[in-house]
Amino acid sequence: MQYSLEVRIELKKGVIDAEGETVKKTLNLLGYEVEGVNTVSVYVIRLSAESEEEAMEKMDEAARRLLANPVIQNYSISAVK
Amino acid sequence: MLLTGNDKMPDVCVLLIEGTNCEKETQEAFSGVGLDAELVHLKQLLGDCERQRKRRLSDYGMLMLPGGWSAGDYIRAGAIFAARMKSKLGDELKDFVESGNLVLGVCNGFQILTEMGLLPAFKGISDVPTASLTNNLSSCFQCRPTYIKHVNKTPLTGKLDLGDVIQVPVAHAEGRFTFGEKQDMMLKQLIENNQIVFRYCRVDGSEAQEIYPWNPNGSIYDIAGICNPERNVLGLMPHPERVINRLQMTDWTRKDNGDAGDGRVVFESIAGYLKAIV
């Protein structure tokens, strides 16, 4: 079966999001009263596996090995329906 | 360059993939101090090329990872180069480092060494990164001269005295050194191990106190370069290969320190060390 998974990478709480801060300041300048902006990266990955669980496990490993740096980032994986 | 079995191998392997772009000036910097540096594509070490072009890391005295935008800086700067090296060259690289050979990573090279777990490597080479070089606090690419203070010696900086200040340019978007959640504990260990080699400072050598632009990226404790506990692997964000000649220094009309730029001493140190151990 082919599965489509979404791997979402975001900065851990307490890690300064320099890009998010810049976007927030710029939105404020444009008159939008936003109070916070966080940037996230999302990878939509298609792969074949025996089950959705196996696909998730594979991408969990991939996230740890490449997509996220555990020092500053958290990740979550969900199936794309 | 094609080598035959009788040729002497070059001293330094300057390793690159697509997007590396500081390899030529790095090679020139080595040749300026009498070292023979070869530009080697990662595929040549992995054997993914014609037979005459294949190379072995163990044939070189030193590995150099130059600056650039390897693999477009996709995912995180250095992450893809690091993953490609680890996937097929992991054991060879581990042997190379644990045998005490020199490894230098500049800018993108420092990011690669960190992503590979070769730095800070408190308990040997780690499987996952234990530090990160992430986006500059300014959220901008920083291309500017910086002043860095030599605070601990390594074989790659042996010709600098402790406390020496050199002017070396940075050019990066992701240079903010951080340990994330474990910042306090890990920084303490880095300091105790004397693994911080260069710290950003002011012109007179006083502390930058994490203040821009002296500290161009917001690195904790003004960290510009660190080494591993064994001191043979060094990563630094500033580019010493860009200030080899006096004319490359911003203050060349005001200072007369001879013909050398401030970065040359790093390459002289490496040459001195490599020639002494032959």
What pLDDT digit, counting tens, does each position of B39-72 carry? 999 999 999 999 999 999 999 999 999 999 999 9
Q: Which residues of B touch A (CB under 8 A)?
A: 75-76, 79-80, 83, 115, 128-132, 134-139, 176, 178-182, 218
Question: What would the pLDDT profile of A45-64 be if each residue is shown by its tens digit?
Answer: 999 999 999 999 999 999 99
| Residue pairs between chains A and B whose CB atoms are closer than 8 Å | 49
Q: Where are the domains of chain A?
A: 2-79
Q: What is the pLDDT of residue B2?
A: 47
In terms of CA atoms, which chain B residue is nearest residue A67? B75
The Cα B241–Cα B230 span in angstroms is: 24
- Give the residues of chain B that fall short of pLDDT 50: 1-5
Q: What is the pLDDT of residue B4?
A: 46
**Would you call B227 a catalytic residue per the annotation?**
no
Q: Which residues of B touch A71 (CB under 8 A)?
A: 129-132, 178-182
Question: What would the pLDDT profile of A3-46 be if each residue is shown by its tens digit?
Answer: 999 999 999 998 999 999 999 999 999 999 999 999 999 999 99
What domains are defined for chain B? 12-277 (3.40.50.880)
Q: What is the pLDDT of residue B33?
A: 96
How large is the average pLDDT for residues A65-81? 95
Structure tokens at B84: 């490609």
A38, A71, A75, best to mutate vs chain B, most B CBs in 10 Å: A71
**Would you call B241 a catalytic residue per the annotation?**
yes
**A2-79 to CATH, choices 3.30.70.1400, 1.20.120.10, 3.40.50.150, 3.30.1280.10:** 3.30.1280.10
Whether A71 and B132 lie within 8 Å, measured CB to CB: yes
**A58 burial via Cβ count (<10 Å: 0-12, 13-18, 19+):** middle
Pick from B188, B178, B38, B12: nearest CA to B111: B178
Q: What is the pLDDT of residue B278?
A: 65
**Active-site residue, from B22, B23, B115, B239:** B239
Q: What is the pLDDT of residue B261?
A: 95
Q: What is the pLDDT of residue B115?
A: 96
